[in-house]
Amino acid sequence: MEFTAGQIAEYLKGKVDGDPGVTVNDVSRIEEGLPGTIAFLANPKYEKHIYNTGASIVLVNKEFKPLHPVQATMVRVDDAYRAIAALLKLREEMKPVPSGIEEGSYVDPAARIGDNVYIGRFSVISRGAVVGKNVRIHPQVYVGENVTIGDDTILHPGVKIYHECRIGSGCTLHAGVVIGSDGFGFAPQSDSNYEKIPQVGNVIIEDNVEIGSNSVIDRAMMGSTIIRKGVKLDNLIQVAHNVEIGENTVIAAQTGIAGSAKIGAGCMIGGQAGIVGHLTIADGVRIAAQSGVSSGIKQKNEVVQGSPAYQYGKYQRSYVLYKKLPEIYQKLRDLEADLEKLKRGEDQ
C-alpha cells in the first residue's frame, strides 16, 4: 500500500516540511534510501546522509535544523525513532494473519484451543495443553502436556515447550526457542561419575515477554524458573534452572545466567555477559558486554564492567592504566638497569 507524507504526518501527529503529496510504499535506511521509501534520522551522527539520501520521505525530530538543503520531504515528529517504530508496527499489523489448523498438525483431543487460533503444519499440541485465543503457532512447534499459552502469543517455527510450563499473553517466542528443558543438575559420585538430579519444576513466562531465536530457558529443579512481564531476551541466551528475571529487564545475545540467580527489574545486560549462580542483582543495574558477574550487586542502578565485573568508572580508570602496562613495564626495566649501574659503581 502507498501512503502520502500528509497521511503519515497525520497518523504520527507530525508536520510535513516539503511536498505532502509524495508517496512511499516501503522503508529504508537513510544511508541506503531509495525513491518511494521512507527513512528516519534520530542519531545526529547520520545527519550527513539526509543531504544526499534517495528516500522520498525522512522522519526527523521537530527541532532538527538542516545545515544544507534537503531534497527529501521531511515529516517532523516528537521522536523520530519512536515514530519509525510505530510505522513498522503498523506495517506488520497490516500483513495477512494465518488462521485455522493446517493439515499435518496434531491436536490432542484433551487439549483446549481458544478462538481464532492458527496451528501450522507438523505442529503438536499435547494432552492437557490450553491455548488461548488469537494465538499463532507456526509450523513444527511442539507444545507439551499441560502447557498453558496465553492470548495473542506467537510461537515461531521450531519452538519447543516442555510439559507443565506456562506462557503468558502477548508473548513472542522466535524460531528454535526451547522452554522447560532440564536444568543442568548432576551430583558427583565417589567413582568420579555424575548422577542426574531430576528436574521436576517448570518455567513460568509472564505477559509481553519476547525471546530471541535459539534461546533456552531451563525448567527449575523444584519450583519455577520465572521470567517476569515485559522482559526482552535476545538470540542465543541461556537461562538456567530456578533463575528469576525481573520485569522489563533486557538482555543481549549470548549471555549466560547460571542457576538460581535473581536479576532485578529494569536491568540492562550487554551481550556475552556471564552471571554466576545463586547471586542477586538489584533493580536497574546495567552490565556491560562481555562482563563476568561473580558476586551480587546490591546497589540499585549500578553500572558495572569487566571480569570480574566492578563499578564502571573504576573499571574505565583501571583500563587506562592497563593499556599503558607495556610502557610502564619498560620504564621499570630501565629503572632496574639504572639501579644496577649505580650498584656496580658503588662496588668499585
What is the 3-state secondary structure of 120-167?
CCCCEECCCCEECCCCEECCCCEECCCCEECCCCEECCCCEECCCCEE
Which triple of cell numbers denotes residue 328?
Answer: 610502564
What is the percent of the chain with per-residue pLDDT over 70, rounded to a whole number? 99
Give the pLDDT mean for 162-177: 98
Compute φ and ψ for 55, nearest 5 degrees: -60, 145
Whether the model pTM is above 0.75: yes
pLDDT at 342: 87
CB atoms within 10 A of CB 72: 27
Element (H, E) at 178: strand 178-181
The packing angle between helices 312-323 and 325-347, to 10°, is 50
pLDDT at 310: 81
Q: Is the pLDDT of residue 59 over 60?
A: yes
pLDDT at 93: 87
Give the pLDDT mean for 207-236: 98
pLDDT at 313: 86
pLDDT at 346: 63
Which triple of cell numbers denotes residue 160?
Answer: 519447543
Radius of gyration, alpha carbons of the chain: 27
pLDDT at 97: 86
Q: Is the pLDDT of residue 74 over 60?
A: yes
pLDDT per position as a tens digit, 273-283: 999 999 999 99
Q: Is the pLDDT of residue 155 over 90?
A: yes
Q: Is the pLDDT of residue 348 over 70?
A: no
How far is the CA of 340 from the CAs of 286, 303, 326, 344, in angstroms?
49, 46, 21, 6
Task: Give the integer Cα–Cα distance in Å for 303 and 291.
Answer: 11
Cβ-contact 203, 179 below 8 angstroms? yes
Task: Give the integer Cα–Cα distance in Å for 27 and 300.
Answer: 39
pLDDT per position as a tens digit, 108-124: 999 999 999 999 999 99
Cβ-contact 163, 143 below 8 angstroms? no
- CA nearest neighbour of 227 among 167, 296, 149: 167
Task: Give the integer Cα–Cα distance in Å for 196 and 188.
Answer: 9
* Cβ-Cβ contacts under 8 Å for 321 (sequence gap 6 or more): 328
Q: Is the pLDDT of residue 70 over 70?
A: yes
- CA nearest neighbour of 175 among 212, 130, 220: 212
* pLDDT band at 140; cut points 50, 70, 90: very high
* pLDDT band at 95; cut points 50, 70, 90: confident
Q: Which residues are catalytic?
A: 241
3-state secondary structure of 330: helix
- Per DSSP bridges, beta strands 15-17 and 73-77 are antiparallel
pLDDT at 347: 58
Where is average pLDDT lowest: 197-201, 287-291, 307-311?
A: 307-311
pLDDT at 96: 87
Give the pLDDT mean for 307-317: 86
pLDDT at 1: 74
Q: Is the pLDDT of residue 164 over 90?
A: yes
Give the pLDDT mean for 66-75: 96
The residues that bridge with 106 in the sheet, in sequence order, are 124
